[in-house]
Structure 1
């Protein structure tokens, strides 16, 4: 139990280190120009014409792996991420990126990726070796009846990478969602049970949550949730109140977040339920965060274009708040909501596609509203 409490605190610390790396890279425009490399082959997300990985993604992912295994060696081999840690520099040389024992060694390795740019490499190395602390009293006092050897971890080092690369500096007013821009870029770290695939710990860090006091930079915020066997639920967030747009008896308009490229049949089916409450938002993780924060009732995606690393962390937080993330196709076949699991790849697929949520997803806080949406979509898609 002590170990599990330490694991949650460690995941919070590494999420803050990750957020700091993301901010450092955005601040240094010449450095950021060097960080983009197009994904190819089996690692490419089929949804996008161009889908980029950045050195920031890879460095963050490897830093999290390194720090977790250093404290919990029994988790080695069970920490998975979105990115390959192979990077190609301007000379066409393939470099395997890892976190070394010292800041100087990591800087030397990163310099080979950055075409000998020692200053940029030193900046990145300093960020990933920095010891950042996160003050969270609720996490500090929590005890969990799990062993690290029972768990695996999914990492999305920077979800909504396209928003991160584009870098629009939109900031949503307090209590409102942000349709696009840097606030949609999140660090997602989720832990699941190796035997069942049940998501049990979720940490979300939003590196670009608010502009800092100077107006020149950004400050972040973090969220976490723990849900074990439906009996132990704890979160940094209270369950959000029922949105006033829907009445207590379940009538009234819902608010659903969708991808802008969602099928027209889905939009048409949800239109009567949502009225003006269909909202188009960037980033899979951020869409689920909108549900977690009560800014939307549901997130619906009919295509298999999200992955385990997108959904594991926010799924655990939603479970802690009484909601979930279900397989949309399974829900439409009838029966109880089929919650996503995270431990088994899909047979017959290669690369990233092995870990896609192929049936689409629906994220929800309230099961009665989920039922209304499933009813509206049934027979329509």
Structure 2
């Protein structure tokens, strides 16, 4: 994790533009590494490198790993943001040294040109109230085993503790990747050319059933109990926090439930902003509390409960927490 000290002021539109541009550039790095040696290493429970090169079977069984793509993408995004916005608070999943930071020119006007540029008014705020969360490669396990539709570059922008804006880039969607970005009060944008897949024009499937999406690699008794409490008709088990939240935004699923610690704020900041801005969805932790992104000392979330529609979140909360939170704490302590 890397965090920079607070600064003076920042234009959120310029910051978002730079983040969109850097996510695409990081996507190029991720694709390039995939064509050669991945530089695979295992991580321990604290996220530190162990020096061990895991086998493919160990990766598939759930060993936490990092690749050269994770580190190179982190160095590019972090190095460029620090150069463009000195003093910006930044929290990244990967730890890279000063020699590995790579600043590249970034476009401060990208969202003006690609979005409704003529309608944009500058949004300059106190930089000390902004935190940027970087997940340079969400879905590393899936990246290694070849399930690359689940791979994302994610950069979230929090303002006054709330997931306020963000970008998710899918490097392996189409020839040059797909990028979705948003900002509170401005809107959500998707560069996917197919109207049936584009987040803004896609028609969510109509159904009378409840579809729940949850973890594939961290199965537990708590997950099974939560799924039962929510009375889901269908359960999708898949990797990547970003992909699961995007399943809600796309209407593929109605609720994302993960009742245990494990996800981090860089996993949720960008996709939470997109979920809320695109569909009016809602995301909390598994104590039914909003995630405080201004707190950079505690980056781990106590689980996730997210729904495509905010009203349905209240229904799920009553089913899960009506009897109190203690049952989930007890189940997790038995893991």
TM-score range for the pair, normalised by the shorter chain length = 0.7 to 0.9
TM-score norm. by structure 2 comes to: 0.77
Moved more, 199-208 or 36-45: 36-45
Equivalent position to 2:124, from 146, 164, 167: 146
Residues 107-145 of structure 1 deviation map (CA, whole Å, 9 limit, x = unaligned): xxxxxxxxxxxxxxxxxxxxx7899x9686216443352
Alignment RMSD (CA, Å): 3.1
Matched, 1:375 2:318: yes
Equivalent position to 2:277, from 310, 317, 320: 320
> Counterpart in 1 of 2:332?
none
- In 2, Cα distance between equivalents of 1:148 and 1:8: 15
Q: 1:6 to 1:272 in 2, by over 3 A?
A: closer
Mapped contact 2:80–2:102 kept (Cα < 8 A): no
Q: 1:144 to 1:310 in 2, by over 3 A?
A: farther
> Counterpart in 2 of 1:117?
none
Residues 31-110 of structure 1 aligned to structure 2 (within 5 Å): 31-32=37-38, 35-40=39-44, 42-44=46-48, 50-75=63-88, 78-86=89-97, 96-99=99-102
- CA displacement at 1:202 relative to structure 2: 0.8
TM-score norm. by structure 1 comes to: 0.68
- In 2, Cα distance between equivalents of 1:129 and 1:2: 18
Pairs aligned (count): 292
Mapped contact 1:199–1:313 kept (Cα < 8 A): yes
- In 1, Cα distance between equivalents of 2:83 and 2:226: 50
Mapped contact 1:9–1:140 kept (Cα < 8 A): no
- CA displacement at 1:166 relative to structure 2: 1.5
Matched, 1:197 2:197: no
- In 1, Cα distance between equivalents of 2:230 and 2:220: 16
> Counterpart in 2 of 1:112?
none
Residues 111-150 of structure 1 aligned to structure 2 (within 5 Å): 137-138=114-115, 140-141=117-118, 142-147=120-125, 149=127, 150=129
SS at 1:24 equivalent: helix
Consecutive unaligned residues in structure 1, runs of 5 or more: 87-94, 101-127, 168-180, 213-218, 247-252, 332-337, 347-353
- In 2, Cα distance between equivalents of 1:313 and 1:262: 24
Equivalent position to 2:211, from 255, 272, 287: 255
Q: 1:269 to 1:189 in 2, by over 3 A?
A: closer
Deviation >3 Å, runs of 4+: 128-131, 133-136, 139-144, 237-243, 261-276, 378-381
Residues 41-93 of structure 1 deviation map (CA, whole Å, 9 limit, x = unaligned): 63259xx8621122221221121122223222242xx111000115xxxxxxx
SS at 1:294 equivalent: coil
Q: 1:269 to 1:356 in 2, by over 3 A?
A: closer
Q: Which has the greater radius of gyration?
A: 1
Residues 140-189 of structure 1 deviation map (CA, whole Å, 9 limit, x = unaligned): 4433523362412000000011111122xxxxxxxxxxxxx101010000
> Counterpart in 1 of 2:6?
none
- In 2, Cα distance between equivalents of 1:154 and 1:220: 21
Q: 1:376 to 1:18 in 2, by over 3 A?
A: same
Mapped contact 2:33–2:68 kept (Cα < 8 A): no
Mapped contact 1:266–1:377 kept (Cα < 8 A): no
Consecutive unaligned residues in structure 2, runs of 5 or more: 1-8, 50-60, 190-198, 329-335
